Amino acid sequence: MLRYSKLLQREKTALLIIDIQERILPVINEIENVIQNTLKLINGFKILNIPIYYTEQYPKGLGPTVKRIKEALENINSIQKMTFSCCGAENLFDELKSKNISQVVVCGIESHVCVQQTVLDLIENNFQVVVSADAVSSRRKFDFDIALNRMRSNGAEITTTESILFELLNVCGTDEFKAISKIVK
């Protein structure tokens, strides 16, 4: 029986968290949901031993990554950038390719700027992109909605945090399944 070829596979996947930084948080729509779902992704990816990357857009101006996320990331270093797209974030895309990553799960802010430009650039560079819709946001819901539609129409898969984690699990009944089940409750 064939399975859908674009289902996420652990050995080919990485998580990319984009610019969830202190100074922009107060104006972001439903930011607490974004933070909570990003933490679920981080914790799930750690359980599954899948690589995690995160960026900071001009931290001098926008401040550091929000403390709860930074703490969950432990000793992973941020990738600094001045471009809106993560394609300008040091050698991130090259590193993903060198590690044979072809599927990138994306979360972060803002949906219609840094997230969208990154997603489109990842697609252009032959990555399969999965956007966690409940872990991205913008200041205005309208911008968020338009961004999700644009990313979807250009080839991004749009789904949810829980869907992503269970897709990566693939089977139930394991210790990993039990740990991730606790995360999503």
| Residues with catalytic function | 19, 81, 114
E strand residue ranges, 38-179: 52-57, 79-81, 103-109, 128-137, 157-159
Q: Report d(CA 171, CA 74) in Å as an integer.
A: 28
| CA distances (Å), origin 182, targets 10, 22, 66, 185 | 20, 28, 23, 5
Q: Report d(CA 88, CA 121) in Å as an integer.
A: 10
State yes or no: cis peptide before 74, omega within 30 of 0.
Answer: no
SS3 183: helix
Structure tokens at 99: 């590690």
Strands 103-109 vs 52-57: parallel, antiparallel or unpaired: unpaired
Angle formed by the axes of helices 31-47 and 161-169, nearest 10°: 10
